[in-house]
Structure 1
Amino acid sequence: MKLGVSDEVPVPQEVREMADKREELRRKGKFVEADEVRVRMEKLGWRVEDTMIGAKIKKLIVRS
């Protein structure tokens, strides 16, 4: 079993709000709290990837 990501799944509002909160915490230098938000997102099945133009949110998928 492998984990992958998908760009084709719409991101729920709750997850977008979590990503915004994480970004705000990172800007304030609160990296421990930002990592906690990232972990909660991953538990919901979403990965956040930081890029030069901002965070990208992707759905985690299980591949056999």
Structure 2
Amino acid sequence: MAVPPLSAEIRLLTAAFSLTGVIIAALLSRFARRPRRTFVRTTVALTVLSPLWTGGDGRPTSA
């Protein structure tokens, strides 16, 4: 039986991935020729690939 994540864990992961997005956006605005387009493509690619990290069933994979 899976244990549901605690609300503190959800907040921590949300903050961590939000910060990651801000860092990606800052790097792209500095180094990309077309930062908006590159950011959208990067975001879409990471969203499409995200099921690989969860195993395709919505639950995180364990090590």
TM-score using structure 1 length: 0.37
* Greater fraction of residues in helix: 2
Determine which structure has more spread, i.e. the larger CA radius of gyration: 2
